[in-house]
Amino acid sequence: MSVKYRVVTIFLSVLCLVLVVNLIRSSLRLGSKGDILSETENKMDDIRQKRDDLIRKLAGVKSSVFMEKQAREKLNLSKKGEIVLIMPQISPITTPTPIPPDTRPNIQKWADVFLKIEE
The burial of 67, by beta-carbon neighbours within 10 Å (0-12 exposed, 13-18 middle, 19 or more buried), is given as: exposed
Answer yes or no: pTM beyond 0.75: no
Q: Is residue 80 classed as helix, strand or coil in its secondary structure?
A: coil
Distance, CA of 96 to CA of 38 (rounded, Å): 59
Distance, CA of 112 to CA of 106 (rounded, Å): 10
- Measured N-to-C along each axis, helices 2-62 and 64-74 cross at an angle, to the nearest 10 degrees, of 60
The tens place of each residue's pLDDT in the chain, 119 residues long, gives: 688 888 889 999 999 999 999 998 888 888 777 788 888 899 999 999 999 999 999 998 888 888 888 878 888 777 788 887 778 888 888 888 888 888 999 998 888 888 875 55
